Structures are given as structure tokens and as C-alpha cells.
A and B are shown apart, each in its own frame.
Chain A
Amino acid sequence: MNSFRSYFENPRNIPRVFWVLFGLAVLLTILRPVLPAGLVRIPEALLAPWRDWIDVAFNFIRGDMESGRFGLIYITRALTGVLEFVLNAVANVLYGKRRWPNIEQIPWSVLGIGITVMAYYLGGWRLALLSAITFLWTALVGQWKLAMETMNVILVAAPMGFIIGGLLGIWSWKSKRVEETIKPLLLVMQVLPFFSYLLPAVIFFKVGPTAATVATIAYSLPPMILMTTIGLKKVSPEVVEAGKMAGCTRWQMLRYVYLPSARTEILVGLNQVIMLCLAMVVLTAAIGMPGLGAKLLAMMGSFKLGRSFEIGVTIVLLAVTLDRMSKAWVTKQPEHFEKGTPWWKRHFYFLLAVGAMLVTYALAQLFGSMKPVELTLWPISEFNLPQYMAGVVDEVHRNESLSQSKPIDKAMRSFLSWDGVTAVTTSIRYFVNVYILVPTEKALLYIPTSAFILGVTAICYRLGGYIPGLLAFIFFCIVAQFGYWDRAMLTLHSVFTATAIAFIIGSPMAIIAARKEKWANRMIVVCDTLQTFPSYVYLLPAVMLFGISPVTVIISILIYTMVPVIRYTIEGLRGVPPELTEAADMSGATRWQKLFKVQLPLAMPTIAVGLNQALVFAFFMVIIAEFIGTRDLGQEMRKTLAGTHLGWNFVLGFSVVFMALTFDTAINAWAEKRRKLLGLS
């Protein structure tokens, strides 16, 4: 067995083995017409009933409330009550849901001003402006309640994700065995389609906000666990020794030395938790969670572009504000006060926030009881701003909102039906569909299963070596066994075409941007901002431009995956040591020579990591694209939500997981190998 493995690991044999496997795959494809049916697709009779097996196992664990057989569901249902209580209490404060503690909802203006002062403290007037715009926009276009329904889940899920993730992170830092168990689990969790989070949540917890909260927490855990572990591991050994020499007990070490020293990483973890919570909570629309996500889904479905656009802007503003504020907290370093600074000066911002909130609250009480102001919003000349603001300081009533959905809708429609635009979109749609999508899809579906498995194995082996090749073989055999091969191929098809196009468009852009430091920095800022948008939002521009069609799916994945492609290409190029480019210049290389002979080869490992992330993003997005209609695994998964078909759901979900992990392992292994070879750490 050992010599068997070492044969495949020997670098000299790799090309030979690769060509044999790959040639075999090509041969099988050519011979398809005469191939026995069993090699083209696995016959139904040979497929194992995975769905039923999983269902049986799952039902056993779940227990049954009707027959009284004890199981996990008894525990989760008990937790549901607690969770519901907390959610309701927060909902009462946020948007006046009639539950304990039965205080009125906080006026939007009071919450807004408090958070804006906090933003000013954390990140200066720019952040304060961003926060103010977000709150004004959300309230004045009349989406306050929707936004608060969404925030309700985030406000409960994010702290819990932070605490649970942090504790698991500490545990996996303490125990090697836990770390080794958790690591592959986290890998799987990061590529598991969101539908596979939703269904168990719905089964174990009640439909609606509770299930949404649970799914959101689960989805946000992996980065928090990873960041906590990384942060704790990174604490400088001298700081640790200083703690020990100070005579810290184990608890004191953790509490006073490790956790504060790992502050940056832990807070970056929190930032990730918040962003993933937002990304997930809008997707929980699929299980009937009200809020921004559900409204956007409904509006997009009925092609109400104006309203969709407004909701999209709200989601994006919320995302950017939450991201910037939590990031500002990461970089906020404590400043000292000179001796003898009075108490009020030390707590200036806190007092300012409280004061501003009290004043706003008083205003809200004063004007809120008055009759809603009669408003004629258009034309603007008759619009009296102070009077209007006074009228809505407590609550924006339906007829008072400044929503311009109808005019926007009209403008967009006329823009989209403008001949120039129609010509462009129609021709893109036609070109992409006829020349790219249809032929590649046909080709992919034509390839026999056996040939495909061999081909993927060959490529992954060539890229990553023995282990990735072996995993590719095993994983794709499992996918074939799961029995949704054609749908899996369709999913793969969308993922690959979109990523490929993203790469073709994105990398030249990145290469151009990387030529000047200023452009590169701007591009990175744009990418960072785009990356904070919940993936769901990316459907919007695609739907607007291309309506509901297969091309829309590709376009939305394309926009989403372009971000990592550009980002990592720029970072890869910038990471090339300056003395090497200088050496190239001094050797008299032209700009092209320098790019192709020096910069790109050295940037390749980083670009590969970007490609990998793009693929992972694409696998995520392709499932979301189901909302606008696909024929792949995503659509099938959506169906499972209607019942309690967990086996079915998991078979589909893990088809995606295994495919994604195959490429993830191979590309990462390649990048790692390459990096070592080039002497980049």
C-alpha cells in the first residue's frame, strides 16, 4: 500500500499518470455511443437509497413528539420557547411587537441618533454621515418596520453566534483533538448550501424568526471559531510568559492575557459574524421569515423594479454601515486621558449619545401626538423640510414616506426599454445563451459519468497530488451515487461558466488597476465594499437588465465572483517583491515581458486562492439563483423545504459540498505547493 502511494506521489510519475487517466476519460467520451449504459450514467437500480437511510437515521435522532419517543426535538422545542421569548422582547423594543416588556417601540430617530453618535466616536464624521444616511433613508422611504424585523434576528443571532463561536474557538485552541474534529466540519459548513441550514432549522425550531435565527447562528459560526483560534494562537510567547511569571492561574491567563491580546482577531470574527448574519437573514425569506429579504423576493418576483431597488439600497446601506462600524471598532485603539481629566470629558461620547437620544425622544413625544402633516411631496417647492421632519420624527406613517418607487419604476422601465439598452442586453443575452451556455451545457451533459469522474480525478491529481486526486475520485463517485448527476452537472456548469467569464473579464481589469498604486487601492476599496453586500442583492441588477432567464443566473454569479477574482489578482501582483520587478526592469524587460515572465508567475499562487474563493462563492450563489429559476440542484432543494424531507435535502446539499470541496482541496494544495516552490511564505 505504501509503495502504491509513493508511486503516485513521485513527481516524475505525475505527468504520466495524469495523461493516462485523462486520455482514458477522453476515450470514454468519444466511445459514448457504443459504451454500455452503466458507464454513461449509473443505472437507477444500482443507486443506494441514501435519502431513506439519512431519513431513518435522522428520525431516530429527532425523536417523535406524537408517539412520545424521546429525541433531540424535545430539547430544541424547549429552546424554541426561550428563543422566541428573547426575539419577541427585542421585537417589542425595535418595532413595537405586542409582547413583553410592552414598552413602545423606540422611535427611529432616537435609535438613529444614538447609533450615529456611536459611529462618530468609532470612525469620525464620515462614518457618522454613513450611519445618518442609512437611518434617514430606511425610515423615510418607509421601510423601518421591514428593516427592524430583519435587525431583530441579527440582534439576537449575532451575539449568540459570537459567544458560541468564541467558546468553540477557545475549546479548539485548548484541545488538539477538538481542533482536528472541528476543522473538516468547518470546511463542510462553509460550502454547505444555505437550504441545508434552513430545513433542519425549520424541523427543529418553529417556522419564522426562530428557525431563521437558528439557521443564521449556525451559518455565522465558522469564521468566528477560526478567528478566535487563530487569534489565541498568535498571542506573542513573551506576553504569555510575562503572564506566567506574574503568577497567573489558568483562568487569569485566559481572562487577562490571552483574550485581550487576541482582541483584533476576535473582533474581526465578530465583524464576520455580523456580515454573515445579514447575508443569511435575508435568505431566510425562503422559510417565511418576514423582513427585507422576503419583501425583496416578493417585489422581484412581481418585477416591481422601483420597490426592489429601494429595498436593495436599504440592504446595502445596512450592510455597509454594519461592516464599517464593526471594522472601525477593530481598529479603534484605546487613547489615554491626561491626569485629572474630569469625569464628563472621559465619557463625553456616551453622555452626548444619551443627551441626543433624550432630546430626540422628547421631540418625538411632542410632535408624534400631533396630526400627521399633510404632505405634497412633489414638486419639491411646496415641500417644507422642518415641518416634515417634525411630523415624522416619531414614526413614518404609510402616507408620509418619501418612497419614489413609482417614478423609479417608470424611469427604469423606460431606460430598459430604450432601444440602445434593449439592443445591448438582448444581444448579450443571445450571445451568452447561444454561443456559451447551450453548447457547454450540452457538452457537459454528454460526457459519461465514468469519463467525468476520471477526468476530474486526473486534473485534481495533476494540480494537488495524491490526496486531492483521491478525494476527487471518492467525492465524485459519491455525487454520482446520490443520483442527481444531471442536476449536479447543471450546477457545475453554471459555476464554471460564470467563474470563467468572471476571470476573463476580471483579471485584465485587475492587471490594469495594479499598475498604479492609487488605482489598485481604489479597486480594493470597491471590492471590499462589494464583498460586504449580502449575496442575495446581486440578483437585483441581473434581474433588472436581463429579466428572468438562464443568462440572468450566470450574470448574477458572474458579478458576485468577479469581486474575489479582482481582489486576489491585485493582491497577488502587489505582493511581488519590489526587488524582483526592479531586477526585471534592470534586465531590460518590456512591460509585457515583466508581466508574463516575472509578475504573473509569482502572483499565481495568490490568484489561485482568489479563483478558489470565486468558485466557493459561485457554488453559494448558484443555489441562491434558484430564486429566479434554475433547473439544477438548487431548484430541487427548494422543493425539499415544503416538507420534512431532510434526507432528500441533505443528499442534494452534500452533492454541492462534495463538488465544492473537490476543487477547494485541489486548488489550495496547488497554491500551497507552488508557494513553497517559489519560496513565498
Chain B
Amino acid sequence: MSDNAPVISAKNVWKLFGAEPEKYLANMPEGHGFDDIRADGYIAGVKDVSIDVNRGEMLVIMGLSGSGKSTLVRCFSRLHEITGGTIEIDGQDIMALSDKDLIDLRRSKMGMVFQSFGLLPHRTVLENVAFPLEMRGQDGHSRRERALEVIKLVGLEGREEYFPRELSGGQQQRVGIARSLAIEPDIWFLDEPFSALDPLIRREMQDEFLRLQDMLGKTIVFITHDFDEALRLADRIAIMKDGAVEQCDTPDQIVLNPATEYVRKFTEEIDKARVVTAGALADASITAKGATVPAQATIKELAASLVADKRAEIPVAAVDGTVVGGMKRQAALAVLLGDAA
């Protein structure tokens, strides 16, 4: 298994809810849409999704409620049994796993954070965090040590003996995060982790989350219905509608080149200058001279210099200083003013 092989690889995954989903899927005519399927008495939770998640990448799955994003992530961890297609984790087909192997996989490789926290009400913070370790039979002393370590990591020191109901929402989700990290998972699923929190706390938790991710570098599948959150966090965004993935790309590509009408409508209200980076606008065929701008800077961040800098073409440099290409000032200004295509 090489390092650049995808960690999660889903191919033509279907998840239908209904009386006899397998049989229905096998006999379903080609090109049947979400509404046709519903007319037949089935709900397409996930509809023919193929997606790869690479090592260390953060994939944000984004969609309105009922779009199938939660269903898809539950297929990845086999909380849902899929109806058709294959899902491989590190090259291993998870649908072929026995119950015991599946439990082992979850005990060693996966962590998950839930929207309404999913904490066990009768256990203290410490016992909640140590729960996955206890389930895999780790001894009391070492699991206490590890749990304290993660509790410290999420900033809940001193609250080890509290019960979930004695904590605020934000603190409860910190417990949820700590619990999901306790077993040192390779893959981290987060199902709308911050949606139940109020906006100020949400922002704070996002920062905290980015700090953790910088430190840990896990492979992450993150679900949200909040586009701003997605743009803030994602390496790549997959936009879902009616169980299908409409577009899966980097944030600036989604904003600049929406693949479908649905995605375009979605991105309409977004301030593109805050998403699009100089790197995304850089064209390698353009060779411009003079002072460079950093590729990872957003157009918004460059606004002042763009207005002052009268050059028609501005060179863009990557983090290491090499020039990757030139950016047309006019195009950048168009993004800044919000009338770019």
C-alpha cells in the first residue's frame, strides 16, 4: 500500500431505504432519478457516489438536510450497510469484513464525532473519553492515562469528574472530540460537530479544530450544512443533493467553476474574494515581472495592493518562493467586486 493510495475509496455506492432494496436496485432501470425511486416506495439515501479521500486530507461533505451527507458518512464506517457498490478503507473492502473484524477496525482506526454529542449520560467526562479504550479491553491504568492526555488536548483539564449534563454544549462537544481521538484513529469522521452550538462558540470550536488538525494531521471526513464552515476548513468540498454528489473539488474551483446550476445557486451569495486565492487565478503561461504576491493569499487579503498595484499582470509565488505564474489584475478585481463568472 503506497502512501498516495486513497484512505477511503468509494465506488458507485448506493444506499436505498425501503422494503427490499437489494432486489430493487438490481432490477432498477438505467437513469432512474431520485423522484422516480421515491415513486416506487424507496428513498435514495446515497445515489451512485464515487469518491476518494486521500491521506491527511480534509474532505468536507456539504449539503442541505436530507441530501444524504450523514448517510454517506455512515456508509464509510458501515454504521449503514450499503445496497450497492464498494467501499474500501486502506484497500480493504469493508463490506466483506466479519462482525469481529469490523469491530476491530473501529476500535483501531476510526473515530467519530456526533452533532448532538452522543455522550453517555451516566459516565463522567473521564469515563466517556476512556469508553472506546475500555471496550477494547485496555487496562484501567493505561486508559486513564491516555484519557487524561486527550482531555488535556481539548482543554477540559479539571473537568474529568464532571457528568455531561454539568457541562455547556461547547464543553460537551469537546468531550465528544476527545472520545473520538482517544484510540488515536487514522480516520476521523465529524458529523455536523458544531451545528448544535451557538455562533460564537462555533467559531471558537472551528479554530480549536484547525489547531488540532495542524497538530494531528488525520484523514478527515467532515459534514456540514454551513457553507462558510466548509470553505473555512476544507481541502476539498463535496456538494450533495438528493443523495448524489453534484461536485467534488477545491473550494476556489467550486466558487469559480460551479459544475451544475445547483452548485452555482449555492455559491451565489458567497463573497468569492474571501475564498479565491491568488494561486487559483495564476496562469502558468503568463510571465510577469516585479514583486510577487503569495499564492495562498485570498484576493480579499490582497485587496489593498490590488487597488494600488497598476500592473496588468502580477506574478504569483508559491510558499517556497518559486513563481508559479501570473495573475491578471482585471480578473482579480472582478473577483473582488463580485462580478466574476
Contacts and interface: CB of A to CB of B under 8 A. Distances in A.
B24 interface: no
Given A241-B79, A333-B165, A336-B124, A246 B116 contact: no
A256 B122 CA distance: 10
Contact of B163 (A241, A248, A256, A333): A333
Contacts of A238: 114-118
Contacts of B163: 333-336
B135 A256 contact: yes
A376 interface: no
Interface in A336-353: 336-339
A404 interface: no
A244 B74 CA distance: 11
A113 to B, nearest CB: 30
A681 interface: no
Contacts of B176: 242
B103 to A, nearest CB: 5
Given A246-B131, A336-B163, A239 B122 contact: no
Contacts of B119: 239, 242
Interface string B69-103: 00000100101000000000000000000000001
Interface stretch (B57-65, B105-113, B294-302): B105-113
A292 interface: no
In this complex, the interface size class of chain A, counting residues with CB under 8 Å from chain B, is 20 to 34
A543 B111 CA distance: 67
A275 to B, nearest CB: 25
A229 B189 CA distance: 31
B212 to A, nearest CB: 18
A244 B189 CA distance: 13
A260 interface: yes
Contacts of B104: 247
A181 interface: no
Contacts of A236: 116, 118
Given A241-B74, A339-B160, A247 B118 contact: no
A427 interface: no
B270 interface: no
Nearest to A239: B118
Contacts of B134: 256
Contacts of A338: 161
A246 B122 contact: no
A333 B124 CA distance: 12
Contact of B131 (A256, A261, A336): A256
A78 to B, nearest CB: 39
A241 B103 contact: no
Given A236-B118, A238-B117, A337-B161, A244 B106 contact: yes
B120 interface: yes
A246 B79 contact: no
B262 interface: no
Nearest to B126: A336
B183 to A, nearest CB: 8
Nearest to B114: A238
B6 interface: no
Q: Considering residues B115, B132, B162, B165, which has the most beta carbons from chain A within 10 angstroms of its beta carbon?
A: B132
B103 A239 contact: no
Interface string B124-162: 100000011011100000000000000000000010111
A510 interface: no
A238 B120 CA distance: 10
A243 B180 CA distance: 11
A247 B135 contact: yes
B118 A336 contact: no
B166 A336 contact: yes
Given A252-B135, A256-B135, A261-B122, A246 B106 contact: yes
A304 interface: no
12 contacts: A238-B115, A241-B114, A242-B112, A242-B118, A242-B179, A243-B120, A246-B106, A246-B107, A246-B135, A247-B104, A261-B120, A338-B161
Interface of A: 236, 238-239, 241-249, 252, 256-257, 260-261, 263, 333-339
Given A238-B117, A334-B163, 17 more contacts: A238-B115, A238-B118, A239-B119, A242-B114, A242-B118, A243-B120, A244-B106, A246-B107, A246-B132, A246-B135, A247-B132, A247-B135, A252-B135, A256-B134, A261-B121, A335-B163, A336-B163
Top 3 nearest A-B pairs (CB, nearest first) are A247-B107, A238-B118, A242-B118
